[in-house]
Amino acid sequence: MDNSELLQPIKTRISQLFGIDYPIIQGGMIWAAGWKLSSAVSKAGGLGLIGGGSMDAELFRRHIKKCRAAVDKPFGVNIPLMYKHAPDLMRVTMEEEVKIVFTSAGNPKKAAEFLKSAGVQWAHCVPTVKMALKVQDAGADAVVAEGTEAGGHNGFDGITTFCLIPQAADALEIPLIAAGGIADHRGFLAAMILGADGVQVGTRFAASIESSAHENYKKAVVEAEDTDVYLGFKSVGPVSMVKTAYAEKVKQSEWGGAGIEQLKELYGSGRGRLGIFLGDGEEGMFEAGQSAGLVKNIESAQDIVKDFVQGYWKKIKNSE
Ligand SMILES: Cc1cc2nc3c(=O)[nH]c(=O)nc-3n(C[C@H](O)[C@H](O)[C@H](O)COP(=O)(O)O)c2cc1C
């Protein structure tokens, strides 16, 4: 098997929908996914998403322009709908004529009419089958179903990727993207066998060379072992994070019976920026998923995409 055979395109409904070589999507992550990461992933044949959640409208516009200048392949943006500035991000997305929009964290119906009339390709991220069906009903082109292993903010129901994806695949007609705990070709293959048409990967790309996350964050992800990730704030809004001093504080409070108000105070605001972007593990949150245990090096986005694709084809060809 030569190298070109191992890098041949992987055709699925998702790669066809977005016009990409491989159905591998880099999650649009706050404080980690700027133009450098998204353009590198798109250049490598996946789909890079600029994480708009941590940007104001004009910064977001600059990232879109820089991404477009850096790559002549499809790329998209992620807009968490619950954020106050989501309408501004949406406006910039349209003004800059971005053609692929991933939304999350909010009611898909709110965005549906606008996105459908704008003629963009639209996917929305959900943690349950019920919500996946609502996304389909709202007219989305694809659904991202995200298991509770995922990095960052999670659903309250705690359904794992392994159980969520086959149920979502059975229920949906539109293409399905699996997310949560997928960090290499093995997770990629497993997700496809479970019924997904593509995967969205967060934690491994957050620790890549092109990610704008702080070196302390990347080092913490790479050094994390299987037990080094904590799903905190389960009663107020679950967030998966690497076990830093701050995460330990969250854990002690929860296990010590802290009430909702106390937890909300501990959650505070700006923890993601402090942790992911400024590298402060004492007071900031290092948002990452359980797949941190699988991330062993800080690598380029291109090497990560290659690892997924070559591993995929090796396995497929060997089982033919
Ligand atoms: C640091 C970090 C920040 C994230 N920020 C966002 C975000 O702003 N919007 C969003 O839809 N998902 C966000 N996510 C979730 C990812 O897009 C992706 O769905 C998830 O990380 C997949 O699971 P994995 O981490 O196991 O690969 C974030 C994840 C991480 C690790």
Q: How many domains does the chain have?
A: 2
Residues 16 and 78 in one domain: yes
Question: Which protein residue has the closest C-alpha to ligand 1 atom 13?
Answer: 29
Q: Could you tell me the distance, in angstroms and rounded to a whole number, from the CA of residue 313 to the centre of ligand 1? A: 26
The finding on whether 146 has its CB within 6 A of some atom of ligand 1 is: yes
Residues 127 and 276 in one domain: no
Residues 104 and 152 in one domain: yes
Residues 81 and 200 in one domain: yes
Residues 106 and 219 in one domain: no
Residue 249 CB-density burial (10 A; 0-12 exposed, 13-18 middle, 19+ buried) = middle
- CATH code of residue 302: 3.20.20.70
Residues 281 and 185 in one domain: no
* pLDDT tens-digit readout, 161-174: 999 999 999 999 99
Residues 33 and 181 in one domain: yes
The finding on whether 187 has its CB within 6 A of some atom of ligand 1 is: no
Mutate to test the pocket of ligand 1, among 24, 26, 30 (most ligand atoms within 8 A of CB): 30
Residues 310 and 226 in one domain: no
Which domain, by its residues, includes 270? 215-291
Residues 48 and 176 in one domain: yes
Mean pLDDT for 139-165 is 97
* pLDDT tens-digit readout, 58-107: 999 999 999 999 999 999 999 999 999 999 999 999 999 999 999 999 88
Residue 4, pLDDT score: 79
Alpha-carbon distance of 51 to 210, in angstroms, equals: 13
The finding on whether 76 has its CB within 6 A of some atom of ligand 1 is: no
Residues 179 and 129 in one domain: yes
Residues 264 and 144 in one domain: no
Among candidates 126, 307, 309, 286, which has minimal Cα distance to 203? 286
* pLDDT tens-digit readout, 181-218: 999 999 999 999 999 999 999 999 999 999 999 999 99
Token pair of 169, please?
Answer: 């695949």
The finding on whether 125 has its CB within 6 A of some atom of ligand 1 is: yes
For residue 231, the cross-strand partners are 240
Residue 5, pLDDT score: 87
Phi, psi at residue 270, to the nearest 5°?
80, 10
Mean pLDDT for 2-17 is 92
The finding on whether 221 has its CB within 6 A of some atom of ligand 1 is: no
Residues 276 and 161 in one domain: no
Mean pLDDT for 152-179 is 97
Measured torsion, CA atoms of residues 219, 28, 186, 172, in degrees rounded to the nearest 10:
150
The finding on whether 127 has its CB within 6 A of some atom of ligand 1 is: no
Question: Which ligand 1 atom is nearest residue 149's CA?
Answer: 26
When pLDDT is cut at 50, 70 and 90, the band that residue 1 belongs to is: low
* pLDDT tens-digit readout, 218-236: 999 999 999 999 999 999 9
| Amino acid of residue 171 | A
Mean pLDDT for 1-9 is 84
The finding on whether 201 has its CB within 6 A of some atom of ligand 1 is: yes
Helix axes 86-95, 108-118, angle to 10 degrees: 10
- Rounded (5°) CA angle 143-85-119: 45
When pLDDT is cut at 50, 70 and 90, the band that residue 50 belongs to is: very high
Question: Which protein residue has the closest C-alpha to ligand 1 atom 21?
Answer: 202
The finding on whether 89 has its CB within 6 A of some atom of ligand 1 is: no
* pLDDT tens-digit readout, 119-129: 999 999 999 99
Residue 239 CB-density burial (10 A; 0-12 exposed, 13-18 middle, 19+ buried) = buried
